[in-house]
Amino acid sequence: MHYQIKQILIIFMLLVSVKIVAQNTFDINLSISDTVIIIKKAKMNYKYAIKVNSEIHVNNLQDSLFLYSINKNVPSYFFINDFSIDIFFKYSTGLIYIIEDSKGHIIIPFFEFVSYKKEKDEIKNSNSRLFVSPRLKIERRLLTAQEQREYDLAKYIIHREKQRLELFPLLGEYHSDLPKGEYYLYFVYSYHSRILPVNIADDSRLFRGYFVSNKVKLIVE
């Protein structure tokens, strides 16, 4: 009798484990629809973003799927090069864009260190976030603490197997010094964070993992 009960418990635990794994395993494909993106730097006398049309596709979607830290205003990532791609298996970068040269080498984003004379200016900068205007101009806006959390966590809901998605890589902020030439642009999404509010962390619709889009040619004129 005790042996049968033990067997039943083991089977139940295995079924629960399979269910948990199945709920958190999704095949997500992010595809850039544009065949080529052209930038005419001579016309850009301000920090600019670029518009990228894309589509997100999830096979056999049974319920809504939640992706966090996926903002339409897409940053790049300072701590990446050709030898650190494995960070996407371990860390949460959210949605970022990556630029490669014609030889396939990652171009590290430009980092400008700003020294503030007044503490209030430094605080103002840290409480600001980047947005994109209709003219594709990058603007920095001061946000409240709650607005900052919402911006940084940026929840994106997938509720259909295929969804169109407009993204705006902040090229003029992270690669403003990009010389004229041909490059390749693509997106990477990575999310493994366990430091989340309980109502988010325990939701089976939360996606943890990573995916990489296709690459498209980026021409800077």
pLDDT per position as a tens digit, 19-45 = 333 334 578 999 999 999 999 876 667
Say if residue 2's pLDDT is above 70: no
pTM value is 0.81
pLDDT band at 181 (very low <50, low <70, confident <90, very high): very high
Q: What is the pLDDT of residues 135-145, one digit of tens each?
A: 999 999 999 99
Nearest residue to 96 (alpha-carbon basis) of 219, 201, 212: 212
Cα dist from 183 to 23, 50, 76, 170, 186, whole Å = 38, 14, 15, 16, 10
DSSP annotation of 219: E
Nearest residue to 70 (alpha-carbon basis) of 187, 173, 160: 187
- Three-class SS state of 188: strand
Q: What is the rounded CA–CA span in Å between residue 130 and residue 148?
A: 11
